């Protein structure tokens, strides 16, 4: 059981918007340990969607016929198979490793005939690796992105307002280009490859209402889910063709989904609760990092009020609570803790949002660690470590392992702490950008332990 009073005190001591707060320059001697090899994930274990085909059809149509800016697309488009994909630019070996894993999944789970080629000039999809500084300078709001044409980074930078870089202009997909930063963590490279390749192939929209999809701007799911693979399989089903209207696609989807996802026929359909533009603008404003903290807090409260007024009990309420808690934690500890606990309750209510609950759980675990409530910190880590492994979120997995190690150390469980810390370092080397970042992250977590208990 979380000791509320102790955690409230901790919130006043360790506020901030990061997962765990930054530490000062004088840090515990964790850097004395030799870093183990980087850990990597094995065979993926995606869960099939646990909802009706009627819901999936509704989401398919909104994902493929609408853009994030609200514009509607006139017709359905996809690539002719086989779809070829090539790497170019300053890619590192991790690009090849993760692209090959992704292609294997798309072939086996989505049934798409997609394959590698060494010729970017003829590939249907080109992945160009560029520097993160170049990407941020050109498109500050994007970690990576895809364009519906074959275009080099140099040509894009020379004319970013080209009219043919509009998804609405397509009547058929012939080419797409994905720009991914080369100098980021392996996990960030993989995440970009998953989302942008999937959008190059099919859905071009993101929907905050989706609980089980990478096509959600909450960024909770790191890799393509079982739902995402169903959507891609449906998009490349022979019953669909380029140039179909929304009504024509809608007429064929029930039969397609019944055939490729028979389990979806067993679930009851939940009513659709539209997302008001006011909520989306508010949550986007709260998540925009280059805005002032005061403006972001105000936007987060506005989003939370709208979510509560709508009566939501889904990911949109959870995200509103989580965002407002993160932004308030350095200013109003009581409100932040209450919002974190409510967000975890919302997310823990469904299997599809357990990874969302884990993202809240690490916040509470950090506060428990800072309050000296080591048993609660360990219990939270034990609960969510299997979730982060299944969802392939190495950065979050490393955080839980390092929190558990720090708690075990404080309780005198030295051997267990050593094992968890070493494993945490291995996953952090995949989830973070450099060994220096790994050491700094571990030191920040160790620094949360109250003095005298480390």
Task: Judge whether 190 and 223 are in contact, CB under 8 Å.
Answer: yes
Pick the CATH number of 4-41+274-446 from 3.90.550.10, 3.40.50.10440, 1.25.40.10, 3.40.50.970: 1.25.40.10
Please state, rounded to an integer, the average pLDDT across all residues of the chain. Answer: 91
Average pLDDT over residues 326-344: 90
Cite the residue boundaries of each domain of the chain with CATH code 3.40.390.10.
53-265
What's the confidence (pLDDT) of residue 454? 60
**Cα–Cα dist 409/21, whole Å:** 20
Q: Tell me, what's the pLDDT at 230? A: 98
CATH 1.25.40.10 intervals, the chain: 4-41+274-446
Eight-state DSSP code of residue 114: E
CA 44 to chain centre: 16
Residues pairing with 180 in the sheet = 129
- Assigned CATH for 53-265: 3.40.390.10
Task: Map residue 9 onto helix, strand or coil.
Answer: helix
Query: By the 8 A CB rule, do 19 and 200 touch?
Result: no
Span 2-29, pLDDT tens digits: 443 444 434 433 333 333 433 343 444 4
Whole-model pTM?
Answer: 0.91
Contact 117, 86 (CB under 8 A): yes
> Looking at residue 429, what is its pLDDT?
97
C-alpha span between 206 and 62 (Å, rounded): 9
Residue 111: band (very low, low, confident or very high) from pLDDT cuts 50, 70, 90: very high
Q: Could you count the other beta carbons within 10 Å of the beta carbon of residue 295?
A: 12
């Amino acid at each position: 059981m979380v000791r509320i009073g102790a955690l409230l005190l901790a919130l006043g001591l360790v506020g901030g918007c990061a997962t765990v707060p930054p530490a000062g320059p004088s840090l515990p001697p964790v850097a004395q340990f030799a870093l183990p090899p980087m850990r990597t994930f094995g065979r993926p274990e995606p869960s099939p969607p646990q909802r009706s085909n009627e819901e999936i059809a509704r989401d398919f149509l909104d994902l493929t016929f609408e853009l994030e800016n609200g514009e509607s697309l006139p017709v359905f488009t996809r690539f002719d198979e086989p779809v070829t994909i090539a790497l170019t630019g300053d890619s590192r070996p991790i690009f090849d490793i993760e692209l090959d894993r992704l292609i294997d999944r798309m072939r086996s789970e989505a049934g798409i005939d997609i394959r590698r080629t060494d010729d970017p000039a003829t590939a249907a999809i080109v992945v160009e690796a560029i520097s993160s500084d170049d990407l941020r300078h050109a498109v500050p709001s994007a970690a990576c992105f895809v364009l519906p044409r074959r275009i080099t980074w140099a040509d894009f930078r020379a004319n970013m307002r080209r009219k043919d870089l509009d998804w609405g202009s397509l009547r058929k997909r012939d080419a797409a280009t994905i720009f991914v930063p080369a100098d980021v963590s392996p996990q960030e490279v993989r995440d970009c490859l998953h989302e942008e390749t999937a959008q190059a192939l099919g859905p071009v929209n993101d929907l905050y209402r989706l609980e089980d999809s990478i096509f959600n701007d909450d960024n909770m799911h790191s890799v393509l889910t079982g739902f995402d693979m169903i959507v891609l399989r449906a998009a490349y089903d022979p019953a669909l063709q380029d140039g179909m209207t929304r009504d024509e696609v809608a007429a064929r989807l029930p039969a397609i989904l019944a055939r490729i996802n028979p389990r979806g026929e067993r679930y009851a359909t939940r009513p659709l609760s539209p997302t008001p533009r006011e909520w989306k603008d508010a949550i986007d404003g709260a998540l925009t990092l280059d805005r002032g903290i005061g403006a972001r807090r105000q936007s987060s409260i506005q989003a939370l009020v709208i979510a509560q007024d709508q009566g939501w009990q889904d990911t949109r309420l959870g995200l509103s609570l989580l965002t407002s808690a993160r932004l308030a934690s350095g200013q109003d500890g009581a409100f932040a803790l209450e919002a974190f606990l409510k967000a975890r309750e919302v997310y823990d209510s469904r299997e599809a949002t357990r990874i969302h609950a884990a993202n809240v759980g690490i916040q509470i675990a950090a506060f428990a660690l800072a309050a000296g409530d080591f048993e609660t910190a360990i219990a939270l880590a034990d609960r969510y470590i299997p979730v982060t492994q299944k969802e392939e979120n190495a950065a979050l997995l490393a955080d839980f392992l390092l929190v558990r190690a720090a708690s075990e150390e404080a309780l005198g469980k030295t051997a267990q702490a050593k094992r968890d810390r070493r494993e945490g370092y291995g996953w952090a080397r995949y989830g973070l950008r450099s060994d220096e970042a790994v050491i700094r992250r571990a030191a920040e977590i160790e620094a949360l332990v109250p003095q005298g208990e480390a």
